[in-house]
Amino acid sequence: MKKFIAVIPLLLASFVASAAPQGSILVKTVAEQEQTVTAADGTRHTVLAPAKAVLPGHAVVYTVTFENVGHEAARDVVVTNPVPEHTNYQSGSAFGPGTELLFSADGGRSFAPPDALEVRGADGSVRAAGPEDYTHIRFVLKNALTPGAVAFARYRTIVK
């Protein structure tokens, strides 16, 4: 009897995984700008608002939210963002609670922490990669994303 019961959960787990018509994660990316808002009492606050008048030199804040809308915990969650064309990643701006931060400077083929990232120059010399070399930003969620949980990651790019 015990042996019979032990088998069923495994079967159920694989059945759920292969038959899921929808993914388990709802992923949303918004693009915003920091704006200074003056409150009624005259104090000023910085808020994120939908991008208004985006010009060369301006910073755009991207926020990716990912929510587990399934019934099972999601593990090894990795969020990969290309650095948009016509922008540069703003150094030091990326953060996401509970995530590890990696970058790619080779179009997404390989990822490493910023101080370990290298690029190869046209003459074959190797140098440390700078923010303007980044092609992708990657957030690796350290812990599982349980059903109903929402996590987010944020970074800024500068319009060239």
Q: Which of residues 41-70 bind other proteins (CB under 8 A)?
A: 46, 50-62, 64-67, 69-70
Q: Is 60:131 a contact under the CB 8 Å cutoff?
A: no
Q: Which of residues 7-46 bind other proteins (CB under 8 A)?
A: 13-14, 16-17, 20, 22-31, 34, 36, 46
x/- track of binding to other proteins for residues 120-139 (CB under 8 A): --------------------
Rounded to whole angstroms, the Cα distance separating 119 from 137 reads 15
Rounded to whole angstroms, the Cα distance separating 151 from 65 reads 6
Cα-atom radius of gyration of the chain, to the nearest Å? 21
Q: How far is the CB of 25 from other proteins (least distance, A)?
A: 5
Q: Which of residues 76-95 bind other proteins (CB under 8 A)?
A: 76-82, 84-87, 90, 92-95
Q: Is 155:48 a contact under the CB 8 Å cutoff?
A: no
Considering the complex, state which of residue 76 and residue 123 has its C-beta at the smaller distance from other proteins. 76
Q: What SS3 state is found at 67?
A: strand
